[in-house]
DNA sequence: GCAAGTCCTTACCGTCTGGTAAGGCATGTC
DNA sequence: GACATGCCTTACCAGACGGTAAGGACTTGC
């Protein structure tokens, strides 16, 4: 039962998994409506009904792509929030994970951005159901930091987090447009926009933290400057 | 020649203009690929070939929609930059115009966001050609303000502006998703996210400007706290 | 050996797509 | 009256779409 089933399941997952991979790439580039099932099948290297053998319909392929993205955060968020301790650490941990997740594969950001435009109703339900509790938890940390004088007093925690989330998604989704649009040197362009993105998120939350561009260098002395009064 | 042509042209523009209006609405909601020419024709109230009588192809409808959006800024940007004088005024003027433009009709933001995803190459060309000079001009103002100590020293002007631009576009494009996702009271939701959006843009550029949420109330005393040293 | 089930193929279906052909109907020109 | 032009209609087309039917190749369980 074991060896054969593993082999069979590995084979099954092969087409199914690469269907999700190729579908994410194509949905990100051309959108759900702009991607034909035939395109996905060609990318995987099988026939169109072979894809429909693993997924009842094109709609199920979309859901599998979205689940692939969501499943990461169901695992990562609890781990991050429990692991990090200090307020600055927590910021670096969540923002870093957020940025790295979308930056490592910008197609994720593009798919989410498209989902926001194509099916706002579905995404709204998702936000209300799954994202809201975690957003509330992180907002609670900001609220606590505010009372200790770490953050701007007029920060609207939930609104801040949503805007930063949107900013990271959009910035990574449109990285190829924005960066190469104004830069000529392909080496520096990534760092430049990434650094400014982190700076905006940080500077609009922590008052007057100078030269905190590189988290590694500024990690030591950036936290003791404002003690709880 | 005059009266008849005016009447004829008015009639002509009637269908043509409302085609652009309806197409923008439908492209924003369902995307370019997700909108059939028949849908546009139905919304206008004419037959499909009637639309194609005014526009050689569906692609030309898209271009007309984009031109409608772009033409506003070719007029507004020079006016704004020349009219505003102080550094804070200039920020309020440009940011306010930017926000109001997309907020007044969020479909504009959705169309731009979709264009960013669907045709990054075309948008890149547009950025390089039309947007870059103006972006450079505004960046120059920030650079000047930096030397007078008005802004954070580590601001990357161009990157900052692009991120803020993206943030305004995304925030207005996804306003129905984000706001009603977490708020239950439909009255407060708009103000709340809008204020935080402006706060982020402002706080990440101007160091330590407290309680500057409302530009009108804070306009008087928000600028004299940090004089050029 | 053989029925059952999995995985995948080719062939096909109805539907919808962007775009075209051809003509009706006004208005204005000579 | 003949003719041209602008605006719009119905009828139609070739191609692409998502999805189905039917069956072949192969493995599994008995």
CATH code of the domain in which A192 resides: 1.10.357
Say if residue B35 is in the same domain as residue B145: no
Q: Is B71 inside any structural domain? A: no
Contact A167 B167 (CB under 8 A): yes
Please check whether strand D approaches the CB of B17 to within 7 Å: no
Query: So what's the pLDDT on residue A17?
Result: 94
Q: How many structural domains compose chain B?
A: 2
Contact A166 B169 (CB under 8 A): no
CA proximity to B38, closest of B23, B21, B20: B23
| Of A20 and B10, the one with more pLDDT | A20
Residue A137: pLDDT above 60? yes
Using a 10 angstrom Cβ sphere, with 0-12 exposed, 13-18 middle and 19 or more buried, the burial of residue B116 is buried
Query: So what's the pLDDT on residue A135?
Result: 87
Q: Is B215 inside any structural domain? A: yes
Q: Is B76 inside any structural domain? A: no
Could you tell me what percent of chain B has a pLDDT over 70?
79
Query: So what's the pLDDT on residue A77?
Result: 83
Contact A199 B173 (CB under 8 A): no
Tell me what the mean pLDDT of segment A34-46 comes to: 96
Query: So what's the pLDDT on residue A13?
Result: 65
Q: Given A64, A98, A116, which residue is the final one in a domain?
A: A64
Where residue A204 falls among pLDDT bands split at 50, 70, 90? Answer: very high
Q: Given A11, A32, A64, which residue is the final one in a domain?
A: A64
Say if residue A117 is in the same domain as residue A15: no
> Do A123 and B172 form a contact (C-beta atoms < 8 A)?
no
Q: Is B69 inside any structural domain? A: no
Round the average pLDDT of chain B to a whole number and report it: 82
Say if residue B124 is in the same domain as residue B229: yes
Say if residue B90 is in the same domain as residue B54: no
Say if residue B59 is in the same domain as residue B128: no
Using a 10 angstrom Cβ sphere, with 0-12 exposed, 13-18 middle and 19 or more buried, the burial of residue B4 is exposed
Say if residue A41 is in the same domain as residue A127: no
Say if residue B113 is in the same domain as residue B182: yes
Q: Determine the Cα–Cα distance for residues B181 and A132; give it in Å rounded to an integer.
A: 8
Question: To the nearest whole angstrom, how far is the Cα of A15 from the nearest Cα of chain B?
Answer: 27
CA proximity to B64, closest of B30, B31, B19, B108: B19
Mean pLDDT is lowest, of A39-43, B77-81, B170-174, B217-221, for: B217-221
Where residue B182 falls among pLDDT bands split at 50, 70, 90? Answer: low
Say if residue B49 is in the same domain as residue B102: no
Q: Is B78 inside any structural domain? A: no
Q: Determine the Cα–Cα distance for residues B167 and A113; give it in Å rounded to an integer.
A: 13
Q: Is B119 inside any structural domain? A: yes
What is the span of the domain harbouring residue B220?
Answer: 86-229
The CATH number of residue B5's host domain is 1.10.10.60
- Residue of B159, B164, B204 lying closest to A192 (CB–CB): B159
Say if residue B108 is in the same domain as residue B178: yes
Please check whether strand D approaches the CB of B8 to within 7 Å: yes
Say if residue A42 is in the same domain as residue A106: no
Residue A165: pLDDT above 90? yes
List, for residues B82-136, the tens digit of each pLDDT value: 776 776 778 888 899 899 999 999 999 999 999 999 999 999 888 888 888 888 8
| Of A128 and B65, the one with more pLDDT | B65
CA proximity to B224, closest of B92, B86, B83, B93: B86
Say if residue A57 is in the same domain as residue A97: no
Q: Hey, which residues 163-192 in chain A have their CB within 8 Å of chain B? A: 163-164, 166-167, 169-171, 173-174, 176-178, 180-182, 192
Say if residue B31 is in the same domain as residue B142: no
Q: Is A228 inside any structural domain? A: no
| Of A5 and B190, the one with more pLDDT | B190
Q: Is B53 inside any structural domain? A: yes
């Amino acid at each position: 039962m074991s060896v054969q089933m593993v082999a069979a399941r590995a084979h099954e997952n092969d087409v199914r998994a690469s269907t999700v991979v190729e579908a994410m790439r194509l949905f990100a580039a051309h959108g759900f409506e702009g991607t034909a099932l035939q395109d996905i099948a060609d990318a995987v290297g099988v026939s169109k009904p072979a894809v429909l053998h693993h997924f009842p319909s094109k709609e199920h392929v979309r859901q599998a792509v979205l689940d692939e993205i969501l499943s990461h955060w169901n695992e990562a968020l609890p781990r991050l929030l429990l692991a990090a301790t200090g307020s600055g650490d927590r910021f670096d941990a969540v923002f870093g994970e957020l940025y790295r997740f979308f930056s490592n594969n910008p197609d994720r950001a593009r798919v989410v951005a498209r989902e926001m435009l194509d099916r706002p109703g579905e995404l709204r339900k998702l936000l209300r159901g799954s994202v809201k509790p975690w957003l509330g938890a992180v907002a609670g940390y900001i609220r606590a930091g505010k009372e200790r004088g770490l953050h701007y007093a007029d920060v609207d925690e939930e609104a801040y987090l949503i805007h930063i989330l949107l900013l990271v998604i959009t910035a990574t989704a449109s990285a190829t447009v924005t960066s190469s649009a104004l830069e000529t040197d392909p080496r520096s362009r990534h760092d430049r926009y990434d650094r400014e993105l982190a700076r905006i998120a940080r500077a609009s939350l922590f008052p007057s933290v100078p030269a905190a561009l590189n988290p590694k260098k500024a990690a030591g002395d950036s936290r003791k400057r404002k003690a709880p009064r």
